[in-house]
Structure 1
Amino acid sequence: MMKLLSLNTARASTLQTDQGPVMSGIAKRPREGAVTVKPLGLEGDEQADLDVHGGVAKAVYAYPSEHYPFWQTVRAQARAGDWGQDLPPGSLGENLTLAGLTESDAWVGDLLRFPDCDLAVSEPRYPCFKLNAVLGFKQAAKLMMQSGWCGFYLSVIRPGVLGAGDSFELIPGPREVNIRDLFKARTASKIR
């Protein structure tokens, strides 16, 4: 069953990175209750760099919960075995932590039909240095590029309300390219 496990938002704030302090909305945290979804995203969520995040085609970012054990393990290894706390939902900067839908099964144009909202798969997420900072280790963005576990952006087709625990149905679009293949094709020359 495909389900929204966690709905996550953040206000833009200062993030300390290897490149100095920058404004970012990547540090998402789970929200309780229902959240309004508008054409440009979730109520209470902000993006700091609108050149690469946000807008109509990238209004909402979804990430598969199935990849969280991988990130927990590589993060602990990169931090010399420091397991610390489990990564909470939203740790990859996603608005929606989903169960049952990975990049290989999400195709550009597919529709995620929730009880009160419809979202369309638009494109992969491409990681930057901010992912390294928020996860706490320098190889995070590179590992996302190598694994292809990038998550995907969604455009809002039918505004409404979402809440953690909502189930959704996947309605196939034209099925020309899935998110994983598109991500791999666009990043092949950048992976070293």
Structure 2
Amino acid sequence: MVVKSTIETVFAGGLGLLAPEGQRSGIFKRRVTGRVRVEVDGIVGDEHADMRVHGGPEKAVHQYAIENYARLARAFPQCAQLLVPGSLGENLSAPGLSELNVHIGDVFRIGSTVLQVSQPRSPCWKINHRFGVERMSIHVAQERITGWYYRVLEPGVIQAGDEFSLLERQNERFSIDAFWQVQSLHRPCLQDLLALSAVPGLADDWKQRLSERVKWLQKHLEASG
């Protein structure tokens, strides 16, 4: 259960316009130096264009695995030079943490802040527009290299160089990768969905969506049985 890492870079801010239609997006994060304050709604000074899908207490801080960028560059060599830490709109960049070893509900102390993994990021079309290529968001989803969000349990201060200290692991089964393995199946195992929906720390929105899917599957299983 040992998970070790250190913040390499903190990113915030980031409102800009996406080509070609000019939609506003907060994906254009900027490197922040020095200490930054983290409140319940996220890093002070961070910006989001659409609060329905980004930001807020359950998506307060976003992290993306550094190692994923090399995979994306191999898949999309035409924009490899643009695929650098921070370019997918994350707030934290740190080596060694990925969808394979970060679990739903994990609680980390970073600096004087305590964060809890609340859910994976759900990639959307804005990634395609950010890099000017089609299907990048689909590739990110299919490869399960989505990144993840934290909620803030204890506001505080973070900065580059701060270590991640894993305080609690709520479940050993559902890493971010394992979450998507279950969720992405057309007909997932009912027991797997039930177990996933019951993971402590999972965002309420996902618990509701998974519970509704369980009910739908139960109904169809009864109808076909």
Assess same fold via TM > 0.5: yes
Instruction: State the match for 1:10 in structure 2.
Output: 13
Using the alignment, how far apart are the partners of 1:116 and 1:16 within structure 2?
38
- 3-state DSSP of counterpart to 2:114: strand
Deviations 1:96-115 (A, max 9, x none): 11212111211111111112
Q: Which moved more, 1:86-95 or 1:52-61?
A: 86-95
Q: Which amino acid aligns with 1:67?
A: N
- 3-state DSSP of counterpart to 1:131: helix
Q: Which stretches of structure 1, 4 residues or longer, exceed 6 Å deviation after superposition? A: none
Using the alignment, how far apart are the partners of 1:94 and 1:49 within structure 2?
15
Which consecutive unaligned segments of at least 5 residues does structure 2 have? 187-225
Instruction: State the match for 1:71 in structure 2.
Output: 72
Using the alignment, how far apart are the partners of 2:133 and 2:37 within structure 1?
33
Q: Which amino acid aligns with 2:74?
A: T
User: Contact conserved, 1:11 with 1:44, CA < 8 A, in 2?
Assistant: no
Which of residues 105, 109, 115 is equivalent to 1:109? 105
Deviations 1:36-79 (A, max 9, x none): 11110111111111111111111010111121211222221xx2
Which consecutive unaligned segments of at least 5 residues does structure 1 have? none
User: Contact conserved, 1:35 with 1:162, CA < 8 A, in 2?
Assistant: yes
- How big is the alpha-carbon RMSD for the aligned residues of Structure 1 and Structure 2? 1.7
Q: TM-score, normalised by structure 1?
A: 0.87
- 1:13: Cα distance to partner? 2.5
- Alignment coverage as a number of residue pairs: 182
Q: Which amino acid aligns with 1:178?
A: S
CA 1:11/1:29 → structure 2, altered by over 3 Å: closer, same or farther?
closer
Please say if 1:147 is aligned against 2:155.
Answer: no
Q: Which moved more, 1:1-10 or 1:32-41?
A: 1-10
Q: Which amino acid aligns with 1:35?
A: V
Please identify which structure carries the higher strand content: 1
Q: TM-score, normalised by structure 2?
A: 0.75
Which of residues 87, 95, 99 is equivalent to 2:91? 95
Whose relative contact order is higher, 1 or 2, with alpha carbons under 8 Å and at least 6 apart? Answer: 1
- 1:27: Cα distance to partner? 1.3
- 1:86: Cα distance to partner? 5.5
Using the alignment, how far apart are the partners of 2:170 and 2:32 within structure 1?
33
Using the alignment, how far apart are the partners of 1:163 and 1:62 within structure 2?
14
Tell me which structure has the larger Cα radius of gyration: 2
